[in-house]
Amino acid sequence: MPYEPVISKYWKTPESWTLKQYQSRGDYWGYAAAKKAITEFEPKALISYVKDSNLRGRGGAGFSTGLKWTFLPENGKPRFLAVNADESEPGTFKDRQILAYDPHQLIEGIIICCWAIGAKHAYVFVRGEFVREINRLQSAIDECYAAGILGEDVLRLGKGFKLDITVLRGAGAYICGEETGLLSAAEGKRAYPKIKPPFPAVEGFFRFPTIVNNVETLSNLPHIVGKGKEWYLQQGPAAGPGPKLYCISGHVRKPGVYEAPLGTKLRTLIDEYAGGVIGTLKAIIPGGSSMPIFTPDKLDLAMDFDTVRSAGSFLGSAGVIVMNDSVCMVNALLNLAKFYHHESCGQCTPCREGLGWLEKLVHRLEFGHAHDNDLDLIKEVCGMISKRTICLLSDSLVMPVESYMKAFFKEFEYHVKEKKCMTGGQPGVWAPCEEPALAR
Amino acid sequence: MAQGIRLTINGKVCSGEQGETILQVARREGIYIPTLCHDDRLKSIGACRTCIGEIAGVKNLQSTCTYPASDGMVVDTENARVKSVRKVVCELLLSDHPAELKPGEQVQPRENDLLSVCSHSGAMESRFRTGRTSEARVDVSHPFIAFDDDKCINCFRCIRGCNEVQGEDVLTMAGRGFSAFIANDYNKNYLDSTCVSCGQCVQQCPTGALEDKTLLEKGKWDKEVKTTCAYCGTGCSMIARVKTETNEVVSIRGNDKSPVNYGHLCVKGRYAYSYGRHKERLLHPLVRESRDQPFRRASWEEAVSMVVRNLRRIKDKYGPSACAGISSSRAANEENYLFQKFVRTFFGTNNVDNCSRVCHSPTAYGLREAYGESAGTGGYEDIELAKVILVIGSNPTEAHPILGDRIRQAARRGAKMIVIDPRRTQTAREADLHLPVRPGGNVAILNAMAHVCVKEGLIDREFIARRTKGFEQLAAVLEKYAPEDVAALTGVDPELIRQAARLYGGTGGQSVIHYGLGVTEHSHGSDGVLCIANLATITGNVGKPGAAVIPMRGQNNVQGSSDMGALPQTVTEYQKHNDPVVRELYRAVWGTDLPTDPGLKLPQMFDAAVEGKLKFLWIIGEDILQSDPDSNHVEAALDAAEFVVGQDLFLNETNKKAHVIFPAASFLEKEGTFTNAERRIQRIRKAVEPPGECKSDFEIIQQVANVLGANWNYTPASIVSEIARVTKVWAGVTFDRLDSSEGMQWPVWDGQHEGSRRLHTEKSMHKDGLIKLHALEYHPPGDELSEEYPFELTTGRKLEQYNVGTQTRRTGISVYDTEDRLEIHPEDAKRLGVLEDDWVEIKSRRDAIRLRAQVTNRIREGTVFTTFHFPETALNRITSGHHDGPTMCPEYKFTAVSVMRVGGREEPAEKHQHGAVPLSGEVPVESERAFEVHVPAGAARRQ
């Protein structure tokens, strides 16, 4: 493969998560990039530099990171960085690799970000189930304090730059990955998303200006600073360039996390990286389970934020889920409906009640109890709950429901009329799948 | 100044202010937008999504309760798109609602926001009905509140009410998604939670999932009557819901519009009203010729003529000064006014006093001396405006719960809170600073704080120079009161006092003081009040927004009963009865001369009776034998009086000594006004007819007076006009004006004046307009500690009970509380070998009583505390007989006692030395038992 991985370059190296190994990599690695950022850039200049690199958020929305940083108000209030490491989207498993195999890369990104935005304290909110990852990250932070990289004088540069990093553990809820839900949870409350506006950059953590960035996003920063924005802009489409971690799962021969520049073709990812489809390809989710689904005709699509969006879906977290023709789409949808209904925080009526009803409706569809007008009812419920809530969780189910029904309408109709599966499978039972291969 | 904006809502051009939400503008303009999770008192969360609207230029529908209004905005909350979404939202909400509840029908006995919002949205039937779910949780453990999970729509209002209004944080949401549910702390039932039964959750509930049990049991109300709570002096405005068919109140809600309580009520105000229909209620006059006879039922004519006969006899035989009347802070202003007029006119003496003598008379005296007016200098609104709130000698969350909540909420929003109290009360626990002062150390600690303010330049010199007199003398005395020097007197770490003084004095005139009976009920209580006035004045904390001195009045009308002149030496508004100008004014209005004798104060009346000088005593609505100190002395006084008239709702310890008992009406059964601690005159209104032959105090007094030849034909409204003629600060008060407002804060100078939120803003109410500072020295308490009596006993109130419990003990509230306990510090308990629940004997120089111990660090070492709610305790047999000098307010808060263990957890054979106050033989009362005790269903004794 011609592409030389950047973020995942050292993941296979033994002890890659230690400070010693991190500092032995040479070039701009080992906190040289952070040092460069602090000594060569004023914070404002650094923000513009990152903005000019067109780095876009890797958490799902693909919003310009540098632009987000400029939203911080100049009101003299302390600012915070909250690192979103609550990776919970089904089909997404990239951030945990960074935490486990290269936590120093993330810490360096945090240092660069905090220097730019003027934060003295960063909180990393990690999904509670990531025990190994939390331990690796915490020991890396401890190493940094011991080495004078973090603390009263970051990297001992005498710039008066103080930075603390605190790791917070989630208690296991999908909604903690929503940025305001994450902040509520970090404040010690139930992870209820907050009304926007005000956006976190204006009023976030304990109502102080707060930037919430994803792990992978921050891990891009050392490379932008180290290799320069000119290099960065050449990695994929200029409107949203850079290395990207694609998580490929489902009916492929070699599921796993693969790094490739943004804009890599879907076909390349599936066939060349993930070893090809097992059986006959039926459907692809491009960006994590909440995104609208693609049929095989979209295989030649370039996987970057704008192209995927114009094709009717979203790159999201780049969690590519591949399904072959053994999958019943109603069954697959029921699985998602169960998940999103269970993860609804219960705050807004449309989501709390609506997702419950969507699950009920899909459930009776799958098990052959559908009423004649259920498909219309599903459509209507979707239309009524979508974008009517404080956060976007309800849309995370509405998007798949609408797109599955559109792309595979015949299957849904078959379930209503024939009361059984078109693929011949048992209702509610998943077709056997090959044991997933270990990550690359 | 907020910037004005104009926007269009549903086609109507509305004006609003920057920072308002769309809903706020719409509500003010009278545009209906349905809401379920919104309440004006709560922070909007935009969760129910029924208030959605389409905003031109904004892609998604937005919740109008959270979306800020802006200039030029065009909002539509009723177009087809919004309506269709709202309809589905309603259908979803109805999906698991009990199927028997249908929109358009008011099947609930109260308003049901959910069903009316559903009707408005056209969701008359849900396509998602599942009906009542089998696993639905129903919780009826609480004595007053029932919870039905099936009706719950997860709007969070009860939770937010519990947190943001009451501040108790009992309720929370548990689980998630469709199965999320409301949970109490410990996730058990209501009764076993830490719920304080304020009922805010019930008031918030838009669906009836949380409901008053009385409503469910007794059914629909058909009449709403706005009135004022008759428990503490906070003066919460409430709405009584009455079922006219059975002539009973079935539920009480807070009045959302009231600036006093904003719809909030405490457990007593909301739920402890059923005493009015208790089986022991007196329903007709009772009379007897002498104390060795049993009472017998009598007609009103007979009872009244018996009183008149004896009054004439005693007055003729011993002279007017052998007669006295004790008025009541529990009664209305009009009744107090009429009674003092009655005593002064027909007894011919100034021997009239009221029960505020034993609580806030030092306030009436002290604040008048300092500021020229016997009232709080500001209002409750100053709590929210203040940067620092100082609470002295008050346990507001239990004794004045609504004020307590307002103070704690203000503290949560960022105000600093200092508490000076021997007990670690709830406010003390949440305070920034808690100064556990020794009982009796108020003057020392307040002087020490003033000392620090002077020494550290925290005083407002300009204010002192321009507005006060007497500062030099004060400063000279304060020299001696460095916190270190008075450490032994205060028992408080000097550094804490310094910090408190810096906090209080450091706001630049934005600090309030709230004080209670812990300041006044001392042998130097007046000095304590004056020291508070000193401290507030020298730091410039008077008469400004967020700067005030506010006494926490113990009873509903403590302020009013004294304002109305039910005091021996003053007539209305504390005008001296021997002032020629005043006498002239009264002669013109009353047509008679005011008596000239000095008049007896309450404790003097007892002394006079014991000495044989006082023969005729008329007592309205006070159980002096239980509530006044040194009960043995009071008992001797009652026994010595030749003729005693009682006027009450129940037979109590005092009127068991009476010859005639008039059955009185409760506050729900009469018209009138109460004045609360912020001088707000508020109406009480007749919600139900008095039971049996009961009459209001007003009618009783007038009836007796007319037999004596008065020819009075007053109504409460006409009395107010008369009060207005003799009282400058009431000049503009009329029933009509009170009815059309949420009460008025006196002074109301004339018919146009709206009342006064603050006093002394430009000058004090003294003749010279200056505030008088008083140089006061510390004096030790009246009762002395000694080797034999080494503990300081102090007394107070519990949340669920009220004073001697005449009312609260006769309601379902008794579930929570059945006895008085002695709070004792663990170290003291260890030394004395006392364990939790052990029986202990407390002995003072006067008597001894027995109680069970509660070992707790809420109380400081060396001090013990108890309440006085239960007659069995007979606490006041042992309390100090000393009085405050100028006012004769008793020293309840300091009694030197010894504590001794007398028995284990099991009740000792000889429970009390006295038992209840011994009766002069059994007193059989042939009263009809018209009512049964109301025991709420499911009410179980809390362990």
Q: Using a CB cutoff of 8 Å and minimum separation of 24, what contacts does B489-493 make?
A: B489/B438, B489/B441, B489/B444, B489/B445, B489/B778, B490/B435, B490/B437, B490/B438, B490/B441, B490/B444, B490/B445, B490/B448, B491/B436, B491/B437, B491/B438, B491/B441, B491/B860, B491/B862, B492/B435, B492/B436, B492/B437, B492/B438, B492/B441, B492/B445
Percent with pLDDT over 70 in chain A: 97
Closest C-alpha to B257, from B92, B27, B53, B412? B27
Q: What is the pLDDT of residue A47?
A: 96
Instruction: Look up residue B617 and give its two tokens.
Output: 């005593």
Positions of E strands within B570-679: 616-620, 643-648, 660-663, 672-675
CA distance A351 to chain B (A): 8
CA distance A300 to chain B (A): 32
Contact B95 A357 (CB under 8 A): yes
Q: What is the pLDDT of residue B869?
A: 86
Contact B178 A344 (CB under 8 A): yes
For residue B782, count CB atoms less than 10 angstroms from its CB and return exposed for 0-12, middle for 13-18, buried for 19 or more: buried
Residue-wise pLDDT for A68-100, tens only, equals: 999 999 999 999 999 999 999 999 999 999 999
Contact B92 A389 (CB under 8 A): no
CA distance B479 to chain A (A): 42
Rounded CA-CA distance A280/B81 in Å is 42
For the cut 80, the answer to whether the pLDDT of residue A364 exceeds it is yes
Q: What is the mean pLDDT of residues B373-395?
A: 94
* Reported confidence tier of residue A431, pLDDT bands at 50, 70, 90: low
* Reported confidence tier of residue B904, pLDDT bands at 50, 70, 90: confident
What Å distances lie between residue A287 and A88, A235, A399, A400, B167, CA to CA? 13, 20, 12, 11, 44
Rounded CA-CA distance B260/B272 in Å is 19
Q: What is the pLDDT of residue B117?
A: 86
Q: Which of B46, B88, B176 sits opposite A381 (nearest CB)?
A: B88
With respect to CATH, is domain B361-544 assigned 3.40.50.720? no
Contact A357 B85 (CB under 8 A): no
Contact A344, B178 (CB under 8 A): yes
Contact with chain A for residue B55, Cβ under 8 A: no
Residue-wise pLDDT for B248-294, tens only, equals: 999 999 999 999 999 999 999 999 998 988 888 999 999 999 999 99
CA distance A198 to chain B (A): 10
Q: Cis peptide before A197, with omega less than 30 degrees from 0? A: yes
* Helices B80-94 and A349-366: angle between axes, nearest 10 degrees: 70
Q: Which residue has the tokens 């219309």?
A: A376
Rounded CA-CA distance B828/B861 in Å is 6
Q: What is the pLDDT of residue B925?
A: 45
CA distance B665 to chain A (A): 48
* Reported confidence tier of residue B102, pLDDT bands at 50, 70, 90: low
The angle subtended at Cα B157 by Cα B152 and Cα B162, nearest 5°, is 115
For the cut 60, the answer to whether the pLDDT of residue B675 exceeds it is yes
CB-CB neighbors (< 8 A) of B128 in chain A: 353, 357
What Å distances lie between residue B386 and B94, B382, B514, B537, B587, CA to CA? 45, 6, 12, 15, 45
ipTM greater than 0.85, yes or no? no
With respect to CATH, is domain A19-233 assigned 3.40.50.11540? yes
Rounded CA-CA distance A204/A194 in Å is 9
Instruction: Look up residue B675 and give its two tokens.
Output: 């004045």
CB-CB neighbors (< 8 A) of B66 in chain A: 195
CB-CB neighbors (< 8 A) of B48 in chain A: 348-349
Rounded CA-CA distance B533/B546 in Å is 15
Contact B66 A352 (CB under 8 A): no
Q: Which of B45, B92, B127 sits opposite A350 (nearest CB)?
A: B92
The CATH code that applies to domain A329-418 is 1.20.1440.230
- Among B249-253, B474-478, B633-637, B815-819, the minimum mean pLDDT is found in B815-819
Contact B92 A354 (CB under 8 A): yes
Residue-wise pLDDT for B170-219, tens only, equals: 999 888 877 888 888 877 788 888 889 999 999 999 888 898 988 888 88
Q: What is the pLDDT of residue A428?
A: 67
Residue-wise pLDDT for A160-196, tens only, equals: 999 999 999 998 899 999 999 999 999 999 999 998 8
Q: What is the pLDDT of residue B112?
A: 67
Query: Residue B508 — φ and ψ, nearest 5°?
Result: 65, 35
Contacts for A418 with CB less than 8 Å, ≥ 6 apart? none
Q: What is the pLDDT of residue B163?
A: 92
Contact B60 A377 (CB under 8 A): no
CA distance A391 to chain B (A): 10
Q: What is the pLDDT of residue B812?
A: 82
- Among A264-268, B48-52, B612-616, the minimum mean pLDDT is found in B48-52
Q: What is the pLDDT of residue B133?
A: 56
Contact A346 B45 (CB under 8 A): no
Contact B850, B913 (CB under 8 A): yes
Taking the model in full, what pTM does it have?
0.86
Task: Mutation target for B interface from A174, A352, A379: give the one with most B CBs within 10 A.
Answer: A352
With respect to CATH, is domain B138-277 assigned 1.20.1600.10? no
**Domain boundaries in chain A?**
19-233, 243-324, 329-418
Rounded CA-CA distance B34/B769 in Å is 53
3-class DSSP assignment, residue A127:
coil
Contact with chain A for residue B414, Cβ under 8 A: no
Contact A347 B45 (CB under 8 A): yes
Q: Which of B61, B92, B127 sits opposite A349 (nearest CB)?
A: B92
Percent with pLDDT over 90 in chain B: 70
With respect to CATH, is domain B791-912 assigned 3.40.1790.10? no
Contact B178 A390 (CB under 8 A): no
For the cut 70, the answer to whether the pLDDT of residue A437 exceeds it is no
What Å distances lie between residue B592 and B586, B595, B701, B737, CA to CA? 8, 9, 18, 30
Task: Specify the CATH architecture of the domain B4-121.
Answer: Roll (3.10)
Residue-wise pLDDT for B689-720, tens only, equals: 999 999 999 999 999 999 999 999 999 999 99
Contact A388 B128 (CB under 8 A): no
Q: What is the pLDDT of residue B909?
A: 45
Contact A190 B173 (CB under 8 A): yes
Contact with chain A for residue B89, Cβ under 8 A: yes
Contact B176 A346 (CB under 8 A): yes
CB-CB neighbors (< 8 A) of A344 in chain B: 176-178
Q: Which of B48, B60, B180 sits opposite A387 (nearest CB)?
A: B60
Q: What is the pLDDT of residue B104?
A: 52
Rounded CA-CA distance A429/A133 in Å is 32
Task: Mutation target for B interface from A180, A381, A388, A391: give the one with most B CBs within 10 A.
Answer: A388
Positions of E strands within B363-490: 388-392, 416-420, 433-435, 468-469
**Domain boundaries in chain B?**
4-121, 138-277, 361-544, 791-912
Pairing label, strands B895-903, B839-843: antiparallel
- Note the residue count of chain A: 440
Positions of E strands within A145-223: 164-169, 210-214
Q: What is the mean pLDDT of residues B446-473?
A: 95
Q: Cis peptide before B691, with omega less than 30 degrees from 0? A: no
CA distance B213 to chain A (A): 28
Element (H, E) at B85: helix B80-94
Contacts for B852 with CB less than 8 Å, ≥ 6 apart? B819, B821, B822, B837, B838, B839, B840
Instruction: Look up residue A52 and give its two tokens.
Output: 């000019």
Rounded CA-CA distance B236/B252 in Å is 12
Q: Which residues of A make CB contacts under 8 Å with B?
A: 173, 175, 190, 195, 197, 341-350, 352-357, 377, 380-381, 384-385, 387-390
CATH topology of domain A243-324: Ubiquitin-like (UB roll) (3.10.20)
Percentages helix, strand, coil for chain A, rounded to the nearest 5?
45, 15, 45
For the cut 80, the answer to whether the pLDDT of residue B403 exceeds it is yes
